[in-house]
Each structure stands twice: as structure tokens, then as C-alpha cells.
Amino acid sequence: MGLLAKIDRAMLAGYCQCWGMYVEALKDIEKNGTTFVTDKGYEGPRPSVGIATKMLSQIATFSAKFGFTPSDRSRIAVPPASEADPFEEFLSQSRVAERLDE
């Protein structure tokens, strides 16, 4: 569809990293529960709960930027594939000229 460029890699990597951390936090929660109890009897939330919550928020932010939800996809305008980009044509011609000089 031509929606992603090389410059988008960092954003996509950020999304993937947040997803990985979210899954890891959920595994910890599944194994150890959502709370812990100290030696003195204080019960508090396990750090993984905060991590999961924060990562889910970050995932939602990234998802909106990439149009991963139906409402966000409706805002994306995809240029028709048949339209040629004059700048891309210029670059292609320049690359051909460079190769001929070699």
C-alpha cells in the first residue's frame, strides 16, 4: 500500500518492543499474581501490573499512529498506486545516470 517508509522503522520497533514487554509482564502476572505481600504484611501491586498498564497505553498510542484500529484506519488517505511521484521519478533517473557513469 506504500504507507510505510524506512523512517517509520523506529516507530514500528517501538510498538513491537512495547508489545513484547506487555506480554512479558502478563506472563509474570499469570505466574505470580497481581500483588505481593512484604514480611510486615503490606500488600502492594506487583511491578508487572504497572508495566503492563503502561505498555498497553503505549501500544494504544502506537496503534493509533499506524491506523491499527477501525476508527484510525478511516482517517488514513492512501494515494492511488497509479499516480507517479515526480520526485521518485527524478531519483530513479538520477540513479540510472549514476550507474551509467560507473
Residue 69 CA from chain centroid, whole number: 13
Q: Take residue 28 and report the three cell numbers written for it.
A: 509474570
| pLDDT of res. 41 | 92
Who contacts 93 (Cβ-Cβ below 8 Å, separation ≥6)? none
Please give the pLDDT value at position 88. 74
Q: Does the CA dihedral 17-18-22-23 come out positive or negative?
A: negative
Q: Do 72 and 62 form a contact (C-beta atoms < 8 A)?
A: no
Q: What's the mean per-residue pLDDT of the chain?
A: 83
Helix, strand or coil, per DSSP, at residue 37: strand
Residue 71 sits at the vertex; the CA angle it makes with 13 and 2, to the nearest 5 degrees, is 50
Give tens-digit pLDDT for 46-74. 999 999 999 999 999 988 887 787 777 77
